[in-house]
Amino acid sequence: MRMLVSVRDVAEAREALRAGVDFIDLKEPSAGALGGLALPVIREVVAALRADGRAEGLARRDPEGREECAGGRAGALVGHADTGVSGAAQAGAKAHAPMISATIGDLPPEALERILERAREVGACGVDLVKVGVPGRGEAACALLAALATLPLAIVPVLIADDGLDGAVIDAACTPAFAAVMADTQAKRAGSLLELLGADGLAAFIDRAHAAGRVVGLAGALRLADLSELARLGPDFAGFRSAVCDGSREGRLDPDRLEALHAAIAMRASPRPLGPATVSAPVGAALAAKGPVTRAFAGKPAPTDSCAQGPGATDRLEALGAAAAMTPTAAQAQIRAADALAT
């Protein structure tokens, strides 16, 4: 499972980059679930990350030194981060190049022309992926998805699941026109996505998306303590904000919480390539480092993936979970103690 972290400015983006996250997501948490940043701020963050030398956009080098392009809607999700490497090690690794996404803001589906206009504006800022909120149910959601599918952008529909998810909407969001699909919540203080839909509901959503060959992500007040359940469900990536902030999601990123969460996710990285046979080649490459868990049947909790967890790994995850709720000083002591459990 890959890690997405939402940031609001250059300073937070660089914290996420130093931690080694896979997706740096640009949004304004105080403006709603998918609050949009001002276009000049998006451009400033993108420019800073590109200039850093570790987030150079879609131009990459293959193992033989040739430049390769990850362009296109699905191709934009080619994976580059080594989730098994610590944040400290990745901080100095030029090869670490996270994808940069940005939200367009919370807009009702009836504001179709404004949504399309805003998506074009955000895409023109140089981000890799443009995230657009879509109601989880209703004909208006399907109409919005049909319109978004016409844009020459790497769009990620984010299905707002507070009122549930309609199968027809999921299917409309799981077409090759889109780079990936996500489920998220609007009311962040009403409980997490896991609490809202339950394991069976999320398993059905993930299975349906994977059956269509889509890369799928989850977000919505997720916490470090949710990692075990997320591992059983098997999304390709998970998004976090509240879990890595000092206080509420409107607060600042906390480097200690960020590092603790990244370390816990890295421990669950798969040592071998996985991926559904149904995905296209570009999307399959995105799953090379960490693919979805195969469930025997939908609606039932899946076993955890084949990640190698040595003696004490479970204890360490629990200790890291406790560290996330502590002050930075206490958290560091807890993390050091957790490291000792794994030896």
- Same-domain check for residues 26 and 102: yes
At residue 189, the pLDDT reads 67
At residue 248, the pLDDT reads 82
- Same-domain check for residues 296 and 202: yes
At residue 269, the pLDDT reads 63
- Same-domain check for residues 179 and 313: no
- Same-domain check for residues 318 and 271: no
Half-sphere exposure of 22 (CA within 13 A, CB side): 30
Nearest to 31 by CA among 100, 103, 123: 103
Give me the domain span that covers residue 128: 2-301
- Same-domain check for residues 227 and 168: yes
- Same-domain check for residues 274 and 316: no
- Same-domain check for residues 195 and 289: yes
Total of domains in the chain: 2
pLDDT in tens, the chain (343 residues): 999 999 999 999 999 999 999 999 999 999 988 999 999 999 999 999 998 754 443 333 333 333 333 333 334 463 333 333 334 333 443 446 899 999 999 999 999 999 999 999 999 999 999 999 999 999 999 999 999 999 999 999 999 999 999 999 999 999 999 999 999 998 866 689 999 999 999 999 999 999 999 999 999 999 999 999 999 999 999 999 999 998 788 888 999 999 999 999 988 764 433 333 333 333 334 333 333 333 332 333 333 332 333 333 333 334 434 443 444 444 444 444 444 433 3
Please answer whether residues 75 and 55 qualify as being in contact, where contact means their C-beta atoms are separated by less than 8 angstroms. Answer: no
- Same-domain check for residues 237 and 339: no
- Same-domain check for residues 203 and 282: yes
- Same-domain check for residues 206 and 278: yes
- Same-domain check for residues 296 and 318: no
Here the CATH number for the domain that contains residue 156 is 3.20.20.380
- Same-domain check for residues 211 and 249: yes
At residue 329, the pLDDT reads 41
